[in-house]
Structure 1
């Protein structure tokens, strides 16, 4: 079993039980305690767990504002990002778009385009894009508690049935060394599955999310193809992402990625 798969199983077990022991993990994963220790060190360094004597617990959650309140946060930045990201879409493409406040605003820009297909778990995105000139598929599944979106095993199973040209995702944090993060495990799983079913992954993240981490890592920095951010993004952060091999595009770019 690869380390990434072990990490996901550890996080899933933590999500269900709030805490895990190293002995239980070693038995469940069929690996040595030393391997478990290294896994927990990696997860702790990325901010996804807190190590305690004999095992690990979930970090103290940073409270996340309700979805509708987050829609108005960094609104100008998100609008800049949405316009720039829509300019990357080519006629005839099929897109995966996950659920988030930034992707909800991105959908308003996509609504100005025609000849595209969009597969999404976001009710906001699907509602915004319904109409002539576009094909829209809303993924089935269980309704999330605090976000207008479908999540869970049924949603994941549906994602695996499709292949798209591009995955657009809006994580809550993106770090040039540690990767992209979500606050919620199920949202992270959706983003990972969509990314796996598209050859190109484009992340939408405003300057406040750069260099940050959150509870659950969705993918490594090396798996990010393009990061779309706003003009206020610090140059040192952008340089760090470029060194990690991530293409950067901002509203200052005119038709190309740096």
Structure 2
């Protein structure tokens, strides 16, 4: 068994059980103690888990950094992903956009198109999409900003009102930017409120497209909102092709693209 396959199986065990003994790894994977030890060290170096006496324990997923920090991180890669996403769309479609740095960059790229109906809970995306030039007051798209609650420092609506509003619509495509995407656990978010929004959008769309730079691959955050079988397309950046999780993601999802 290849090491990447073993590591993927161990990550699945950690995700399910939080703590996994060396003996369990040996028995379930059919490997030697030395091989199990090397795999545990590899996972610790990847930041997935921490070695403890007799096994390995999950490292709690970190909270997402503030939105301005997320905008600055890997902006070039996110722009490539956003441009690729626009190439998968066409005029006349209705789409969902959730709130995130990648989907806000996508909103900017969507200004090169026209004729979409765009439903979003992101204030930033809505502002980008509705900005007009000095002598041009005609919008290129119909933009629907979902109502709901807002929390301090956020630029998005959330809560029961938002989820209920999502259920009023049927979209062609949901374009979502998860905190993590994994071949076994699917798409996930750190925030329960954000996962509820993303999950509702995914269920109310005919197709689900995930926009995730390579840092999010192979990651399972706190709340999963979409099963692997429900993910129609994963778009990542060019570095994804060298990521340890890419082979399993490519085999699991219907379509994957390195932008």
TM-score, length basis structure 1? 0.73
Tell me the distance in 2 between the aligned counterparts of 1:47 and 1:69: 30
1:118 has 2:118 as partner: yes
Equivalent residues of 1:48, 1:216 under 8 A apart:
no
Q: Is 1:198 aligned to residue 205 of structure 2?
A: yes
- What RMSD in Å do the two structures reach over aligned CA positions? 2.3
Confirm or deny: 8 A CA contact 1:48 1:214 kept in the other structure.
no
- Counterpart CA distance in 1 for 2:199 and 2:101 is 18
Q: Quick one: structure 1 residues 209 and 60, their matched pair in 2 at CA, closer, same or farther if it must change by over 3 Å?
A: closer
User: Which whole-Å CA distance do the structure 1 matches of 2:112 and 2:66 have between them?
Assistant: 28
CA contact (8 A) 2:79 2:106 kept: yes
| Structural mapping, 1:1-258, within 5 Å | 45-46=14-15, 60=60, 62-130=62-130, 132-235=139-242, 236-251=244-259
Partner-residue secondary structure (3-state), 1:46: helix
Change in Cα spacing, 1:47 to 1:136, as seen in structure 2 (3 Å) is farther
The 1-side partners of 2:207 and 2:81 are apart by 18
> Larger C-alpha radius of gyration, 1 or 2?
2
Provide the rounded CA distance (Å) in 1 between the counterparts of 2:172 and 2:92. 10
Alpha-carbon distance in 1 for matches of 2:148, 2:239: 37
Q: Which runs of 5+ in 1 are unaligned?
A: 1-42, 52-58, 252-258
Deviations 1:28-55 (A, max 9, x none): xxxxxxxxxxxxxxx984369789xxxx
- Aligned partner of 2:45 in structure 1 is none
In the aligned structure 2, how far is the partner of 1:168 from the partner of 1:192?
A: 11
Contact 1:47–1:213 (CA under 8 A) maintained in structure 2 = no
**CA shift for structure 1 position 239:** 2.1
2:118 and 2:82 map into 1 onto residues whose CA distance is: 15
C-alpha distance in structure 1 between counterparts of 2:125 and 2:193, whole Å: 18
Q: Residue 78 of structure 2: SS of its match in structure 1? A: helix
Deviation at residue 246 of structure 1 after TM alignment? 3.1
1:141-198 C-alpha deviation (Å, 9 max, x unpaired): 0013343000000000000000111000000111111111101001001000001111
Gaps of 5+ in 2: 1-11, 21-58, 131-137
Q: 8 Å contact 1:238–1:248 — kept in the other structure?
A: no
Deviation, 1:234, is 3.1
Q: Please, what TM-score do these two structures have when normalized by structure 2?
A: 0.73
